[in-house]
Amino acid sequence: MPKRLLLALAAIAIMVAAACHSNTSTTPTPSYSPISPSPNPSIKKATVEVTVAGTPVAQIPVEISTPRNPQSPRPGHPFLTQYTGKKGLTRFHQLKPSKTYCWLARISPSFRSSECAGWAVWQTSTIILGN
């Protein structure tokens, strides 16, 4: 191969390599918002939705408790019971941001649904009970 062609190929290779490693590239931004590593002290409420076959249900009693054992959270002794509204929702207020809570919906005498969640869940999303 002639030297001119080798020099031209080498120059092109250097330009391509420099373009690939330039600092002008943008960093992609995540498509989600990352969860904070600690609870937000200003969020003290949780929203619970009760559904049956995917349809929100009104007038369902929902109990809130703290778990008996934080390592294996299961509902403990309830300290408050509220009923769902027309849209199947109820909100529990004055919660402590650092605590784990459990909710239990008594949908029928033979059907109960429960969920225990730490602040990372109840501060950022709706607790859904039922089926």
Residue 100 lies in a domain: yes
Residue 41 lies in a domain: no
Check which CATH number belongs to the domain holding 86 and give it.
2.60.40.1120
Residue 110 lies in a domain: yes
Who's near 116: CB < 8 A, 6+ residues apart? 67, 73, 74, 75, 100, 101, 102, 103
- Residue 38: predicted pLDDT: 87
User: In the 8-state DSSP scheme, what is residue 83?
Assistant: E
* Ranges of residues in the chain whose predicted pLDDT is under 50: 20-32
Single-letter code of the amino acid located at 130: G
- Residue 29: predicted pLDDT: 47
Residue 53 lies in a domain: yes
State both tokens at 95.
């919660």
Q: Which structural domain range is residue 116 located in? A: 46-130
- Residue 99: predicted pLDDT: 93
- Residue 62: predicted pLDDT: 98
Q: How many domains does the chain fold into?
A: 1
